[in-house]
Amino acid sequence: MMRERSWAKEYEALIGRMPETIGRSRLMIGAFSLCLDVYLSLADAFGPLGAAAQASREGAMLLAELKRRAASGIGGEVFLDWSDGAAWIDAHVTGRKAVGGTSAQAAYMLATLGAPALIAVENRSASQLSVLHPKTLVATEADLIPVESLRPHGAAPSPHYIFEFTAGETIDGAVVPRSSRTIVRFNHSALQRDEAFVRASTTRAGEAGAGILCGFNEIPPERAAEELGYAAGIAAAWRRNGLSLLHLEFGDFPTPALHEETLRRLLPCATSFGTSRSELKLLRQRDEPLHATAIRLAERHGLERVCVHADEWAFTVTLRDPARELQALQMGCLLAATRAANGYFAVPEKLPANAQLSEPPLPAILREGRWSVACCPSPYLERPVATIGLGDTFLAGTLLVLGGDAGAASPEGACREPALHPPLPGA
């Protein structure tokens, strides 16, 4: 009889091995997403904003969409072409400023652990630098230095507003079924064009454990070709200079056209792709198992791995070592659950109290032809203290393990030709 797997004990053992894992970490390079976020409780903000929305058509539209998403238990991202939107929110509610952007949040988590991370930082205003981890690395003309050593300059960026809601809360008569958050932005965000970072990251690409590409769902539509071309050129340079693990992290896209064009332009240089369960569902064929969708996506674009995260589990399809991939998934889930339980980036000391470990939908390791599938349960909290940035924190954990010095290294690589067949369903 097969011994029943004790996921709780595996997570406890993982915590015990964290100093060793961190000690093996190599530099993570991350581009091109960085922003200033403002965190707000939707339940607390709904009253003041609701009263103000009676005199604002745009405000009423925004509030209705936020309520709809909370009542449905869905988060995601909302773009509203409303030049006075930020001022309208600021006039009625006050939130907490924090770091935003996938690469910046992943770097914050790694720096909290004591692992090295270098990110692109074009906006070096006092407001933007104040929310970065002081030990996150930035590039100057002379060297890499921690954020705390930079002299701020320039104007603050326009913030994104993050409205959180928690399962069990009642918002304007609707009971929230699932904890999540909705990102609200009133402007498009160009990629961080940090030329010192480009030079430093390209030079160090062969020494780096992993690279992150992100931020493409917020670029100005009229500049999409230029922005994607800029990012693809840098990604190609990283690959030529020896970066073996290059991860493209996805998100909610405002249009199907930008979604598909981002896949077409950037996946040829990536070796790894990350997405949420809800995002991957948009790409699957009717009744297709999600891991089969992930394999099809990987096969179509010549990827080595596709990683998918959900509330209660995570899985990866991979051509590499599935046992190492399973450790990476568990590390990502552990760090995300710890942040959810504490409300901020934190080093895990134990499994969060009240965390549920459900049986995952797939075996821990499964063979599918030439592919391996690794899957684990995530320590799930029905009522987390925070839901913001959990996917980015999860990504940091996976790359911490996969990018360590025991990872599979490869010589210089080259970008593949873009896929020429029709778009995947839903794209």
Fill in the DSSP letter of residue 271: S
Report the alpha-carbon distance of residue 259 to residue 240 in Å, rounded. 26
**pLDDT at 4 (0 to 100):** 63
CATH of the domain at 287: 3.40.1190.20
Report the alpha-carbon distance of residue 339 to residue 118 in Å, rounded. 21
**pLDDT at 378 (0 to 100):** 97
Residue 389 domain-assigned? yes
Is the model's pLDDT at 3 over the cut of 70?
Answer: no
Q: Encode pLDDT of 318-334 as tens digits.
A: 999 999 999 999 999 99
The whole model's pTM is what? 0.93
**pLDDT at 253 (0 to 100):** 84
Report the alpha-carbon distance of residue 250 to residue 216 in Å, rounded. 8
Is the model's pLDDT at 313 over the cut of 90?
Answer: yes
**pLDDT at 240 (0 to 100):** 96
Q: Which residues contact 97 (CB under 8 A, 6 or more apart)?
A: 36, 37, 38, 39, 127, 130, 131, 159
Other Cβ atoms within 10 Å of 115 Cβ, number = 24
Query: Cα angle at 91 between 85 and 96, to 5 degrees?
Result: 90
Residue 175 domain-assigned? no
Q: Which tokens in the block code for residue 392?
A: 């980015």
Residue 155 domain-assigned? no
Mean of the pLDDT values across residues 117-133?
Answer: 97
Q: Which residues contact 89 (CB under 8 A, 6 or more apart)?
A: 38, 40, 49, 161, 184
Other Cβ atoms within 10 Å of 258 Cβ, number = 17
Residue 119 domain-assigned? no
Mean pLDDT, rounded, of the chain: 93
Q: What is the band of 425 on the pLDDT scale with cuts at 50, 70, 90?
A: very low
Q: Encode pLDDT of 355-371 as tens digits.
A: 999 999 999 999 999 99
Q: What is the band of 269 on the pLDDT scale with cuts at 50, 70, 90?
A: very high
Residue 139 domain-assigned? no
CA of residue 339 relative to chain centroid, distance: 14
Is the model's pLDDT at 255 over the cut of 90?
Answer: no
Residue 235 domain-assigned? yes
Q: Which helix (H) or strand (E) holds 182?
A: strand 180-185
Which of 66-70, 79-83, 252-256, 421-425 has the largest mean confidence? 66-70
Residue 108 domain-assigned? no
Report the alpha-carbon distance of residue 316 to residue 364 in Å, rounded. 10
Is the model's pLDDT at 421 over the cut of 60?
Answer: no
Q: Report the phi/psi class of residue 354: left, alpha or beta, with left for phi > 0 and alpha for psi in -120 to 50.
A: left
Q: What is the band of 406 on the pLDDT scale with cuts at 50, 70, 90?
A: low
Report the alpha-carbon distance of residue 119 to residue 396 in Å, rounded. 13
Is the model's pLDDT at 40 over the cut of 60?
Answer: yes
CB 361 within 8 A of CB 294: no
Other Cβ atoms within 10 Å of 375 Cβ, number = 22
Supply the Cα-derived Rg of the chain in whole angstroms. 21
Mean of the pLDDT values across residues 160-188?
Answer: 95
Mean of the pLDDT values across residues 169-184?
Answer: 95
Report the alpha-carbon distance of residue 221 to residue 234 in Å, rounded. 20
**pLDDT at 180 (0 to 100):** 94
DSSP for 315-373 reads EEEESS-HHHHHHHHHHHHHHHHHHHHHSS----SSPPTT-B-PPPSS-SEEEETTEEE
Domain count, the chain: 1
Q: What is the band of 166 on the pLDDT scale with cuts at 50, 70, 90?
A: very high
**pLDDT at 419 (0 to 100):** 53
Residue 23 domain-assigned? yes
Is the model's pLDDT at 352 over the cut of 80?
Answer: yes
Mean of the pLDDT values across residues 53-72?
Answer: 96
CA of residue 249 relative to chain centroid, distance: 6
Determine the structural domain holding residue 364 and report its residue range.
7-34+187-402
Report the alpha-carbon distance of residue 401 to residue 324 in Å, rounded. 8
